Structure 1
Amino acid sequence: MKISMSRFQIHDDLTAPEGSVPVLRGALATGGQLPNFLGVLAGSPAALRGYAKFRSELRHGKLTLPTLERIALAVAEHYHSEPGIAMHSRAARSSGLALDEV
């Protein structure tokens, strides 16, 4: 099932509320691109900060970074998210996954 987010405004660091800009710039610096999901969440600085904190906490769990990237890739593929596939493919390679695993 593909869910369209087009009914929501997708912000970038130029259109987002001031409180969302630092998180968006951090995401851009880390991932090289801004996922639409974060652009939508940016409409609410509190929601965006909450999501960023949640993602940060996942890094302290028991799953390894390569495993987290495998999961992220599977989700991006399931939803046919070309930007998500591209971003998580790069992250997966950076985490040490072999090319045949990506």
Structure 2
Amino acid sequence: MARFTFHDEMTAPKAALPAMAQAKQAFGFVPNLVRGMANSPGLAEGYLTLSGLYANSSLSLQEQQIVLLTVSRYNGCDYCVAAHSMGADMAKVAEDVIQAVRDDQPIADPRLEALRVFAAKMVDKRGWLDEADIRAFLDAGYEMQQVGEVILAVGMKTLSNYFNHIAQTPLDEAMQAHAWSKNDSAA
């Protein structure tokens, strides 16, 4: 099966270099995700643009990572579950919350649990949520703005999760401690 090349700054298409530089500035290195996406410069740029927009959402850093981790876990993306486990740890999400999301188990905090459930339902129902799904999310203290921001996160993660499924993106060394496999979970 044909595989993507994981480029560096010397082998990447010229049009991908700005995205690679942006990733290096943001993370201190160019993650394998972006190195692989460099094969399609528009994909790399689109992903990083959506990431920047989502980072500026009204959700807290912890809430953002819970959504990204939930969507990645639901989609069975080994790479992104590891990446967002690391991101959640860096955002000071409690270890038991990270583990609950990784294991597809309820979070003890009712507000965060409503967020996790809402994000999973958004993916599961492909956006066809019913009034009860939305009402449960709003009743937990969220607003319609956050409904849209969860949709933004799902779109962003769809790009990276699907890319990683096809590319079989290897984990970066920085993420090794957070490795996860859909084959080892109750997916």
Tell me the TM-score normalised to structure 1 length: 0.70
Provide the C-alpha distance between the structure 1 equivalents of 2:2 and 2:21, rounded to a whole number of angstroms: 23
What amino acid is aligned across from residue 30 of structure 1 in structure 2?
F
Q: % of aligned pairs identical? A: 24
SS of 2:45's equivalent?
helix
1:54 aligned partner: 50
2:67 aligned partner: 71
User: Is 1:96 the equivalent of 2:72?
Assistant: no
Which protein has the larger Cα radius of gyration, Structure 1 or Structure 2?
A: 2
Offset of 1:26 from its aligned partner?
4.0
Q: How many residues align?
A: 95
Q: Deviations over 1:66-99 (max 9, x none)?
A: 1111111112212222221111111101111011
Provide the C-alpha distance between the structure 2 equivalents of 1:22 and 1:45, rounded to a whole number of angstroms: 9
The answer to whether the 8 A contact 2:6-2:32 is kept is no
CA root-mean-square deviation: 2.5
Normalized per residue, the structure richer in helix is 2
What amino acid is aligned across from residue 58 of structure 1 in structure 2?
Y
Tell me the TM-score normalised to structure 2 length: 0.43
The answer to whether the 8 A contact 2:72-2:81 is kept is yes
The answer to whether the 8 A contact 1:24-1:34 is kept is no
In structure 1, runs of 5+ residues without a counterpart are 1-5
Offset of 1:9 from its aligned partner?
2.2
Task: Sort the Cα spacing of 1:66 and 1:31 in 2 relative to 1 into closer, same or farther, 3 A.
Answer: farther
Structure with the bigger RCO (C-alpha within 8 Å, sep 6+) is 2
What amino acid is aligned across from residue 11 of structure 1 in structure 2?
F
- Range 54-63 or range 21-30, more displaced: 21-30
Q: Deviations over 1:3-53 (max 9, x none)?
A: xxx656243325431221342354356186322xx4453223233223212
Moved over 6 A (4+): none
The answer to whether the 8 A contact 1:73-1:85 is kept is yes
1:83 aligned partner: 79
Task: Sort the Cα spacing of 1:63 and 1:8 in 2 relative to 1 into closer, same or farther, 3 A.
Answer: farther
